[in-house]
Amino acid sequence: MHLHSTNPATGKTTKTFPSLQPDKISGVLNDVAAAQTFWSNLDYGQRKVYFQSLAQVLRQFRDKYAHLITEEMGKLLQEAKSEVEKSAWGCEFYAENASAFLADEPITTDAACSYVTYQPLGTIFCIMPWNFPFWQVIRAVAPAMMAGNTVVLKHASNVPRCALSLEEAFREAGFPKHAFRSLLITASQTESVIANEHIAAVTLTGSTAAGRKVAAMAGRHLKKCVLELGGSDPFIVLNDANISFAAEQAVTGRFQNTGQSCIAAKRFILTEAIADEFIARFADRVKQLRCGDPKDKLTDIAPMARADLRDTLHEQINQSISMGAKLITGGTFVQSPGAYYTPTILDHVRPGMSAFDEELFGPVAAVIRAKDAEEAAKLANQTQFGLGASVWTGDSAQGEALAKNIHAGSVFINGIVKSDPRLPFGGIKQSGYGRELSHYGIREFVNIKTVWIK
Protein backbone atom coordinates (compact mmCIF):
# COMPACT_ATOMS: atom_id res chain seq x y z
CA MET A 1 0.00 0.00 0.00
CA HIS A 2 1.13 3.55 -0.75
CA LEU A 3 0.19 7.05 0.34
CA HIS A 4 -0.03 9.65 -2.40
CA SER A 5 0.57 13.39 -2.18
CA THR A 6 -1.65 14.86 -4.90
CA ASN A 7 -2.17 18.52 -5.66
CA PRO A 8 -5.98 19.09 -5.68
CA ALA A 9 -5.58 22.13 -7.94
CA THR A 10 -4.01 20.10 -10.74
CA GLY A 11 -4.90 16.51 -9.95
CA LYS A 12 -1.24 15.57 -10.32
CA THR A 13 0.50 13.30 -7.82
CA THR A 14 3.76 14.89 -6.72
CA LYS A 15 5.11 12.16 -4.44
CA THR A 16 4.29 8.64 -3.31
CA PHE A 17 5.26 7.01 -0.01
CA PRO A 18 5.13 3.33 0.88
CA SER A 19 3.17 2.60 4.06
CA LEU A 20 5.27 1.28 6.92
CA GLN A 21 5.62 -2.45 7.39
CA PRO A 22 4.61 -4.06 10.74
CA ASP A 23 8.18 -4.38 12.01
CA LYS A 24 8.87 -0.69 11.34
CA ILE A 25 5.64 0.31 13.08
CA SER A 26 6.55 -1.78 16.09
CA GLY A 27 9.99 -0.19 16.20
CA VAL A 28 8.54 3.34 16.19
CA LEU A 29 6.08 2.49 18.96
CA ASN A 30 8.86 1.01 21.08
CA ASP A 31 10.96 4.15 20.58
CA VAL A 32 8.12 6.54 21.45
CA ALA A 33 7.23 4.53 24.56
CA ALA A 34 10.86 4.60 25.68
CA ALA A 35 11.01 8.36 25.14
CA GLN A 36 7.96 8.85 27.36
CA THR A 37 9.89 7.97 30.51
CA PHE A 38 12.31 10.83 29.95
CA TRP A 39 9.63 13.24 28.72
CA SER A 40 7.27 12.65 31.65
CA ASN A 41 10.09 13.26 34.14
CA LEU A 42 10.61 16.79 32.84
CA ASP A 43 8.79 19.48 34.79
CA TYR A 44 6.32 21.86 33.19
CA GLY A 45 8.92 24.59 32.90
CA GLN A 46 11.19 22.32 30.86
CA ARG A 47 8.41 21.16 28.55
CA LYS A 48 7.34 24.79 28.17
CA VAL A 49 10.68 25.68 26.62
CA TYR A 50 10.26 23.00 23.96
CA PHE A 51 6.80 24.20 22.95
CA GLN A 52 7.89 27.81 22.89
CA SER A 53 10.67 26.71 20.56
CA LEU A 54 8.16 24.84 18.38
CA ALA A 55 6.06 28.00 18.11
CA GLN A 56 9.15 29.86 16.92
CA VAL A 57 9.90 27.17 14.32
CA LEU A 58 6.34 27.31 12.99
CA ARG A 59 6.54 31.06 12.60
CA GLN A 60 10.04 30.99 11.14
CA PHE A 61 9.03 28.54 8.42
CA ARG A 62 5.41 29.66 8.13
CA ASP A 63 5.53 30.34 4.40
CA LYS A 64 7.18 27.01 3.64
CA TYR A 65 4.60 25.09 5.65
CA ALA A 66 1.74 27.13 4.19
CA HIS A 67 2.81 26.37 0.62
CA LEU A 68 2.99 22.68 1.53
CA ILE A 69 -0.54 22.75 2.97
CA THR A 70 -1.84 24.46 -0.16
CA GLU A 71 -0.08 22.07 -2.51
CA GLU A 72 -1.18 18.95 -0.64
CA MET A 73 -4.80 19.66 0.39
CA GLY A 74 -5.69 22.72 -1.68
CA LYS A 75 -6.29 25.38 0.98
CA LEU A 76 -6.05 29.04 -0.04
CA LEU A 77 -2.48 30.13 0.66
CA GLN A 78 -3.50 32.98 2.95
CA GLU A 79 -5.72 30.62 4.95
CA ALA A 80 -2.80 28.18 5.18
CA LYS A 81 -0.55 30.91 6.59
CA SER A 82 -3.21 31.72 9.19
CA GLU A 83 -3.43 28.04 10.10
CA VAL A 84 0.31 27.82 10.78
CA GLU A 85 0.14 30.99 12.88
CA LYS A 86 -2.78 29.58 14.88
CA SER A 87 -0.77 26.40 15.46
CA ALA A 88 2.04 28.50 16.94
CA TRP A 89 -0.50 30.19 19.22
CA GLY A 90 -1.74 26.77 20.37
CA CYS A 91 1.80 25.77 21.32
CA GLU A 92 2.30 28.96 23.30
CA PHE A 93 -1.08 28.69 25.01
CA TYR A 94 -0.34 25.28 26.49
CA ALA A 95 3.27 26.16 27.20
CA GLU A 96 2.04 29.04 29.37
CA ASN A 97 -0.98 27.39 31.00
CA ALA A 98 -0.34 23.65 31.40
CA SER A 99 1.17 23.92 34.88
CA ALA A 100 -1.86 25.84 36.18
CA PHE A 101 -4.35 23.56 34.41
CA LEU A 102 -2.75 20.47 35.98
CA ALA A 103 -1.79 21.82 39.39
CA ASP A 104 -2.56 19.54 42.35
CA GLU A 105 -5.98 20.25 43.88
CA PRO A 106 -6.24 20.03 47.68
CA ILE A 107 -9.54 18.58 48.93
CA THR A 108 -10.68 18.71 52.56
CA THR A 109 -11.57 15.23 53.86
CA ASP A 110 -11.06 13.22 57.05
CA ALA A 111 -7.42 12.73 56.05
CA ALA A 112 -4.53 14.80 57.32
CA CYS A 113 -3.95 15.67 53.67
CA SER A 114 -5.80 14.69 50.51
CA TYR A 115 -5.58 15.99 47.01
CA VAL A 116 -6.06 15.22 43.32
CA THR A 117 -3.03 15.06 41.09
CA TYR A 118 -2.80 14.72 37.31
CA GLN A 119 -0.31 12.31 35.76
CA PRO A 120 0.33 11.35 32.11
CA LEU A 121 -1.09 8.13 30.72
CA GLY A 122 1.82 7.22 28.41
CA THR A 123 1.77 7.32 24.60
CA ILE A 124 -1.27 8.78 22.83
CA PHE A 125 -2.24 7.71 19.31
CA CYS A 126 -3.53 10.72 17.34
CA ILE A 127 -5.53 10.05 14.16
CA MET A 128 -5.93 13.36 12.39
CA PRO A 129 -7.73 14.71 9.27
CA TRP A 130 -6.54 16.56 6.20
CA ASN A 131 -8.70 19.70 6.31
CA PHE A 132 -6.50 21.56 8.83
CA PRO A 133 -3.36 19.44 8.55
CA PHE A 134 -1.27 21.48 11.00
CA TRP A 135 -3.80 22.99 13.42
CA GLN A 136 -5.75 19.77 14.04
CA VAL A 137 -2.52 18.02 14.99
CA ILE A 138 -1.16 20.78 17.21
CA ARG A 139 -4.41 21.28 19.11
CA ALA A 140 -4.39 17.60 20.05
CA VAL A 141 -0.66 17.14 20.54
CA ALA A 142 0.25 20.28 22.51
CA PRO A 143 -1.97 19.54 25.53
CA ALA A 144 -1.23 15.82 25.45
CA MET A 145 2.52 16.38 25.44
CA MET A 146 2.54 19.27 27.90
CA ALA A 147 0.75 16.86 30.25
CA GLY A 148 3.73 14.49 29.92
CA ASN A 149 2.53 12.07 27.26
CA THR A 150 4.38 11.22 24.09
CA VAL A 151 2.52 11.06 20.77
CA VAL A 152 2.31 8.92 17.65
CA LEU A 153 0.51 10.55 14.72
CA LYS A 154 -1.40 8.80 11.96
CA HIS A 155 -2.26 11.63 9.61
CA ALA A 156 -4.78 11.44 6.76
CA SER A 157 -3.42 9.41 3.89
CA ASN A 158 -3.61 12.33 1.41
CA VAL A 159 -1.30 14.62 3.47
CA PRO A 160 1.84 12.50 4.05
CA ARG A 161 4.19 15.42 3.40
CA CYS A 162 2.43 17.49 6.05
CA ALA A 163 2.82 14.58 8.48
CA LEU A 164 6.55 14.36 7.84
CA SER A 165 6.96 18.14 8.01
CA LEU A 166 5.34 18.22 11.43
CA GLU A 167 7.81 15.61 12.65
CA GLU A 168 10.58 17.71 11.13
CA ALA A 169 9.30 20.79 12.99
CA PHE A 170 9.48 18.96 16.33
CA ARG A 171 13.05 17.93 15.56
CA GLU A 172 13.96 21.46 14.52
CA ALA A 173 12.55 22.71 17.84
CA GLY A 174 14.92 20.37 19.69
CA PHE A 175 12.40 17.93 21.15
CA PRO A 176 13.81 14.69 22.56
CA LYS A 177 14.15 12.08 19.85
CA HIS A 178 10.98 10.01 19.43
CA ALA A 179 8.82 12.16 21.74
CA PHE A 180 6.66 12.83 18.68
CA ARG A 181 6.60 10.60 15.61
CA SER A 182 4.54 10.37 12.43
CA LEU A 183 3.51 6.96 11.15
CA LEU A 184 2.88 6.75 7.41
CA ILE A 185 0.25 4.04 7.52
CA THR A 186 -3.14 3.34 5.95
CA ALA A 187 -6.49 3.14 7.72
CA SER A 188 -6.36 -0.66 7.56
CA GLN A 189 -3.26 -0.61 9.77
CA THR A 190 -4.87 1.51 12.48
CA GLU A 191 -6.17 -1.24 14.75
CA SER A 192 -2.78 -2.88 15.07
CA VAL A 193 -1.47 0.40 16.50
CA ILE A 194 -4.43 0.83 18.87
CA ALA A 195 -3.91 -2.73 20.08
CA ASN A 196 -0.22 -2.23 20.77
CA GLU A 197 0.68 -2.42 24.44
CA HIS A 198 2.48 0.92 24.30
CA ILE A 199 -0.61 2.90 23.27
CA ALA A 200 -2.48 4.24 26.28
CA ALA A 201 -5.30 6.16 24.57
CA VAL A 202 -6.57 7.38 21.20
CA THR A 203 -7.85 10.67 19.85
CA LEU A 204 -9.50 11.01 16.46
CA THR A 205 -10.80 13.92 14.44
CA GLY A 206 -12.66 12.74 11.38
CA SER A 207 -15.96 11.52 10.00
CA THR A 208 -18.70 9.96 12.09
CA ALA A 209 -18.15 6.66 10.26
CA ALA A 210 -14.44 6.71 11.15
CA GLY A 211 -15.31 7.60 14.73
CA ARG A 212 -17.54 4.56 15.11
CA LYS A 213 -14.77 2.30 13.85
CA VAL A 214 -12.08 3.80 16.08
CA ALA A 215 -14.36 3.79 19.12
CA ALA A 216 -15.06 0.10 18.55
CA MET A 217 -11.36 -0.65 18.20
CA ALA A 218 -10.49 1.31 21.34
CA GLY A 219 -13.32 -0.38 23.20
CA ARG A 220 -12.07 -3.84 22.27
CA HIS A 221 -8.72 -2.97 23.84
CA LEU A 222 -10.16 -0.98 26.79
CA LYS A 223 -8.43 2.25 25.81
CA LYS A 224 -9.89 5.67 26.28
CA CYS A 225 -10.64 7.72 23.19
CA VAL A 226 -11.72 11.26 22.37
CA LEU A 227 -13.73 11.74 19.18
CA GLU A 228 -14.28 15.01 17.32
CA LEU A 229 -16.48 14.07 14.40
CA GLY A 230 -18.75 15.55 11.77
CA GLY A 231 -21.18 18.42 12.05
CA SER A 232 -24.08 20.07 10.29
CA ASP A 233 -23.98 23.36 12.13
CA PRO A 234 -27.08 25.55 12.06
CA PHE A 235 -26.72 29.28 11.30
CA ILE A 236 -29.94 30.74 12.71
CA VAL A 237 -30.99 34.22 11.59
CA LEU A 238 -33.87 35.81 13.54
CA ASN A 239 -36.20 38.65 12.56
CA ASP A 240 -34.28 41.33 14.44
CA ALA A 241 -30.81 40.41 13.12
CA ASN A 242 -28.62 42.79 11.15
CA ILE A 243 -29.33 41.05 7.86
CA SER A 244 -26.55 42.68 5.88
CA PHE A 245 -23.94 41.77 8.51
CA ALA A 246 -25.27 38.23 8.97
CA ALA A 247 -25.27 37.58 5.22
CA GLU A 248 -21.69 38.81 4.90
CA GLN A 249 -20.57 36.62 7.80
CA ALA A 250 -22.46 33.69 6.29
CA VAL A 251 -20.18 33.78 3.26
CA THR A 252 -17.09 33.37 5.44
CA GLY A 253 -18.78 30.91 7.78
CA ARG A 254 -19.78 28.60 4.95
CA PHE A 255 -17.06 28.98 2.33
CA GLN A 256 -13.87 29.34 4.38
CA ASN A 257 -11.54 26.43 3.61
CA THR A 258 -13.86 25.69 0.65
CA GLY A 259 -16.52 24.65 3.16
CA GLN A 260 -14.39 21.73 4.32
CA SER A 261 -14.66 22.25 8.06
CA CYS A 262 -16.57 20.33 10.71
CA ILE A 263 -17.69 23.61 12.31
CA ALA A 264 -18.51 25.47 9.13
CA ALA A 265 -22.05 26.84 8.98
CA LYS A 266 -23.96 24.35 6.87
CA ARG A 267 -27.71 24.70 7.50
CA PHE A 268 -28.92 28.31 7.24
CA ILE A 269 -32.18 28.45 9.20
CA LEU A 270 -34.02 31.69 8.47
CA THR A 271 -37.22 33.02 9.98
CA GLU A 272 -39.81 33.73 7.29
CA ALA A 273 -39.93 37.49 7.75
CA ILE A 274 -36.30 37.98 6.73
CA ALA A 275 -35.64 34.90 4.59
CA ASP A 276 -36.00 36.49 1.15
CA GLU A 277 -33.89 39.52 2.03
CA PHE A 278 -31.14 37.36 3.56
CA ILE A 279 -31.06 34.98 0.59
CA ALA A 280 -30.87 37.85 -1.89
CA ARG A 281 -27.91 39.43 -0.08
CA PHE A 282 -26.23 36.09 0.54
CA ALA A 283 -26.63 34.90 -3.06
CA ASP A 284 -25.35 38.19 -4.44
CA ARG A 285 -22.08 37.75 -2.53
CA VAL A 286 -21.75 34.07 -3.27
CA LYS A 287 -22.12 34.65 -7.01
CA GLN A 288 -19.11 36.97 -6.83
CA LEU A 289 -16.82 34.30 -5.34
CA ARG A 290 -14.05 33.24 -7.70
CA CYS A 291 -12.74 29.70 -8.07
CA GLY A 292 -9.09 29.45 -9.04
CA ASP A 293 -5.48 28.89 -8.13
CA PRO A 294 -5.28 28.72 -4.30
CA LYS A 295 -1.96 30.59 -4.41
CA ASP A 296 -3.57 33.54 -6.24
CA LYS A 297 -4.60 36.32 -3.84
CA LEU A 298 -7.69 37.01 -5.97
CA THR A 299 -9.04 33.47 -5.53
CA ASP A 300 -11.93 32.99 -3.09
CA ILE A 301 -12.73 29.31 -3.59
CA ALA A 302 -9.93 26.75 -3.70
CA PRO A 303 -10.32 23.19 -4.97
CA MET A 304 -11.78 20.53 -2.75
CA ALA A 305 -9.19 18.21 -1.28
CA ARG A 306 -10.06 15.20 -3.43
CA ALA A 307 -12.12 14.51 -6.53
CA ASP A 308 -14.05 11.68 -4.83
CA LEU A 309 -15.21 14.08 -2.11
CA ARG A 310 -16.44 16.47 -4.79
CA ASP A 311 -18.36 13.63 -6.46
CA THR A 312 -20.06 12.70 -3.18
CA LEU A 313 -21.04 16.31 -2.58
CA HIS A 314 -22.55 16.57 -6.07
CA GLU A 315 -24.63 13.45 -5.42
CA GLN A 316 -25.97 14.96 -2.19
CA ILE A 317 -26.98 18.12 -4.04
CA ASN A 318 -28.72 16.23 -6.83
CA GLN A 319 -30.59 14.06 -4.34
CA SER A 320 -31.83 17.16 -2.52
CA ILE A 321 -32.93 18.85 -5.74
CA SER A 322 -34.80 15.71 -6.80
CA MET A 323 -36.77 15.97 -3.53
CA GLY A 324 -37.72 19.61 -4.04
CA ALA A 325 -34.77 21.79 -3.00
CA LYS A 326 -34.33 24.85 -5.23
CA LEU A 327 -30.90 25.56 -6.73
CA ILE A 328 -30.17 29.27 -6.34
CA THR A 329 -26.62 29.25 -7.69
CA GLY A 330 -23.77 26.82 -8.39
CA GLY A 331 -24.25 23.07 -8.36
CA THR A 332 -21.69 22.30 -11.07
CA PHE A 333 -18.12 21.17 -11.55
CA VAL A 334 -15.66 23.81 -12.71
CA GLN A 335 -14.40 22.89 -16.17
CA SER A 336 -10.70 22.90 -15.36
CA PRO A 337 -8.11 20.53 -13.92
CA GLY A 338 -8.43 19.92 -10.21
CA ALA A 339 -11.24 19.11 -7.79
CA TYR A 340 -13.13 22.41 -8.10
CA TYR A 341 -16.84 22.86 -7.33
CA THR A 342 -18.82 26.05 -7.79
CA PRO A 343 -20.05 27.73 -4.59
CA THR A 344 -23.64 26.60 -4.22
CA ILE A 345 -26.84 27.64 -2.44
CA LEU A 346 -29.88 25.39 -2.09
CA ASP A 347 -33.16 26.92 -0.89
CA HIS A 348 -36.26 25.23 0.54
CA VAL A 349 -34.24 22.41 2.07
CA ARG A 350 -36.27 20.15 4.37
CA PRO A 351 -35.71 17.14 6.64
CA GLY A 352 -35.34 13.98 4.59
CA MET A 353 -33.05 15.61 2.05
CA SER A 354 -29.33 14.86 2.04
CA ALA A 355 -28.63 18.59 2.40
CA PHE A 356 -30.52 18.59 5.71
CA ASP A 357 -29.78 15.15 7.15
CA GLU A 358 -26.14 14.69 6.13
CA GLU A 359 -22.97 16.71 6.48
CA LEU A 360 -22.17 18.73 3.35
CA PHE A 361 -18.38 18.85 3.41
CA GLY A 362 -17.75 21.38 0.69
CA PRO A 363 -18.87 24.75 -0.70
CA VAL A 364 -22.65 24.27 -0.41
CA ALA A 365 -25.11 26.19 1.78
CA ALA A 366 -28.47 24.63 2.63
CA VAL A 367 -31.22 27.19 3.33
CA ILE A 368 -34.12 26.16 5.58
CA ARG A 369 -37.10 28.39 6.30
CA ALA A 370 -38.69 28.53 9.77
CA LYS A 371 -41.91 30.16 10.96
CA ASP A 372 -40.33 31.74 14.03
CA ALA A 373 -37.48 31.43 16.56
CA GLU A 374 -39.10 28.46 18.27
CA GLU A 375 -39.35 26.47 15.05
CA ALA A 376 -35.80 27.55 14.10
CA ALA A 377 -34.46 25.98 17.30
CA LYS A 378 -36.50 22.84 16.67
CA LEU A 379 -35.08 22.51 13.15
CA ALA A 380 -31.56 23.21 14.44
CA ASN A 381 -31.88 20.25 16.82
CA GLN A 382 -33.45 17.96 14.21
CA THR A 383 -30.09 16.43 13.29
CA GLN A 384 -27.86 13.55 14.24
CA PHE A 385 -25.03 16.02 14.83
CA GLY A 386 -24.28 18.38 17.70
CA LEU A 387 -21.00 20.19 17.17
CA GLY A 388 -21.51 23.96 16.81
CA ALA A 389 -24.24 26.49 16.11
CA SER A 390 -24.63 30.23 15.70
CA VAL A 391 -27.52 32.59 16.37
CA TRP A 392 -27.83 36.01 14.72
CA THR A 393 -30.06 38.53 16.46
CA GLY A 394 -30.30 42.16 17.55
CA ASP A 395 -31.20 41.03 21.05
CA SER A 396 -28.28 39.21 22.67
CA ALA A 397 -30.45 38.14 25.62
CA GLN A 398 -32.85 36.45 23.21
CA GLY A 399 -29.89 34.83 21.48
CA GLU A 400 -28.50 33.56 24.77
CA ALA A 401 -31.87 32.13 25.78
CA LEU A 402 -32.17 30.37 22.43
CA ALA A 403 -28.58 29.08 22.70
CA LYS A 404 -29.46 27.19 25.88
CA ASN A 405 -32.06 25.19 23.94
CA ILE A 406 -29.75 24.22 21.07
CA HIS A 407 -28.09 20.81 21.27
CA ALA A 408 -24.45 21.50 20.47
CA GLY A 409 -20.99 21.61 22.01
CA SER A 410 -20.79 25.35 21.37
CA VAL A 411 -23.14 28.15 20.38
CA PHE A 412 -21.89 31.52 19.12
CA ILE A 413 -24.18 34.55 19.17
CA ASN A 414 -23.56 37.07 16.37
CA GLY A 415 -20.28 35.40 15.52
CA ILE A 416 -18.95 32.57 13.37
CA VAL A 417 -18.24 29.32 15.19
CA LYS A 418 -14.49 28.84 15.59
CA SER A 419 -11.99 26.90 17.66
CA ASP A 420 -10.05 28.86 20.26
CA PRO A 421 -7.38 27.39 22.58
CA ARG A 422 -9.06 29.17 25.51
CA LEU A 423 -12.44 27.48 25.00
CA PRO A 424 -13.39 23.79 25.15
CA PHE A 425 -14.11 22.25 21.75
CA GLY A 426 -16.14 19.16 20.93
CA GLY A 427 -19.61 17.84 20.29
CA ILE A 428 -22.48 15.65 21.38
CA LYS A 429 -24.64 13.04 19.64
CA GLN A 430 -22.99 11.81 16.42
CA SER A 431 -20.44 14.63 16.57
CA GLY A 432 -18.46 12.66 19.12
CA TYR A 433 -17.47 12.91 22.77
CA GLY A 434 -14.71 14.30 24.92
CA ARG A 435 -13.20 17.75 24.61
CA GLU A 436 -10.17 19.38 23.06
CA LEU A 437 -8.60 22.72 24.00
CA SER A 438 -8.81 24.80 27.22
CA HIS A 439 -8.17 23.09 30.57
CA TYR A 440 -10.79 20.47 29.69
CA GLY A 441 -8.72 19.25 26.74
CA ILE A 442 -5.48 18.81 28.67
CA ARG A 443 -7.27 16.70 31.29
CA GLU A 444 -8.56 14.14 28.76
CA PHE A 445 -5.32 12.14 28.68
CA VAL A 446 -4.17 12.15 32.28
CA ASN A 447 -4.71 9.87 35.25
CA ILE A 448 -6.84 11.91 37.65
CA LYS A 449 -5.35 10.40 40.78
CA THR A 450 -6.53 10.73 44.39
CA VAL A 451 -3.82 10.88 47.08
CA TRP A 452 -5.02 10.43 50.70
CA ILE A 453 -2.64 10.73 53.67
CA LYS A 454 -3.44 9.88 57.30
pLDDT of 214 strictly over 90: yes
pLDDT tens per residue, range 363-418:
999 999 999 999 999 999 999 999 999 999 999 999 999 999 999 999 999 999 99
Compute the CA torsion angle 355, 361, 364, 366 (nearest 10 deg). Answer: 30
CATH class of 2-229+429-453: alpha beta
Mean pLDDT of 63-90: 98
Look at residue 375 in the predicted model and tell me its pLDDT: 98
Rounded to 5 degrees, φ, ψ at 367 are -100, 130
- The CATH code of the domain at 233-413 is 3.40.309.10
How far is residue 286's CA from residue 127's CA, in Å, rounded to a whole number? Answer: 34
* C-alpha separations of 149 from 256, 269, 442, 450 in Å: 33, 42, 11, 19
Predicted confidence band of residue 275 (pLDDT cuts 50, 70, 90)? very high
Mean pLDDT of 262-272: 98
Q: What is the pTM of this model?
A: 0.97
Look at residue 242 in the predicted model and tell me its pLDDT: 98
Residue 319 CB neighbour total at 10 angstroms: 14
Look at residue 203 in the predicted model and tell me its pLDDT: 98
Look at residue 1 in the predicted model and tell me its pLDDT: 85
Mean pLDDT of 437-442: 98
Look at residue 336 in the predicted model and tell me its pLDDT: 87
pLDDT of 444 strictly over 90: yes
Look at residue 261 in the predicted model and tell me its pLDDT: 97
Look at residue 232 in the predicted model and tell me its pLDDT: 98
Catalytic residue among 262, 358, 359, 444: 262
Catalytic residue among 228, 358, 359, 436: 228
126 among known catalytic residues: no
How far is residue 55's CA from residue 66's CA, in Å, rounded to a whole number? Answer: 15
How far is residue 83's CA from residue 419's CA, in Å, rounded to a whole number? Answer: 11
pLDDT of 88 strictly over 90: yes
pLDDT tens per residue, range 313-334:
999 999 999 999 999 999 999 9
Predicted confidence band of residue 7 (pLDDT cuts 50, 70, 90)? very high
Look at residue 331 in the predicted model and tell me its pLDDT: 98
Q: Tell me how far the alpha carbon of residue 343 is from its chain's centroid.
A: 21
Residue 324 CB neighbour total at 10 angstroms: 11
pLDDT tens per residue, range 299-310:
999 999 999 999
Q: Are strands 199-205 and 123-127 parallel, antiparallel or unpaired?
A: parallel
| Contact present, 72 and 294 (Cβ < 8 Å) | no
Compute the CA torsion angle 108, 110, 112, 114 (nearest 10 deg). Answer: -50
Look at residue 9 in the predicted model and tell me its pLDDT: 97
Write out the H or E segment, with its range, that includes residue 407.
Answer: none
Mean pLDDT estimate for the chain? 98
Look at residue 437 in the predicted model and tell me its pLDDT: 98
Work out the percent of the chain whose per-residue pLDDT is above 90.
Answer: 99
Burial 233-256 (b: 16+ CB within 10 A, else e): bbbbbbebbebeebbebbbebbbb
Torsion region of 318: left, alpha or beta (phi above 0 gives left; psi -120 to 50 gives alpha): alpha
How far is residue 390's CA from residue 265's CA, in Å, rounded to a whole number? Answer: 8
Domain spans, the chain: 2-229+429-453, 233-413
225 among known catalytic residues: no
Mean pLDDT of 223-249: 98
pLDDT tens per residue, range 121-139:
999 999 999 999 999 999 9
pLDDT tens per residue, range 93-119:
999 999 999 999 999 999 999 999 999
Look at residue 306 in the predicted model and tell me its pLDDT: 96
How far is residue 369's CA from residue 385's CA, in Å, rounded to a whole number? Answer: 19
Look at residue 186 in the predicted model and tell me its pLDDT: 96
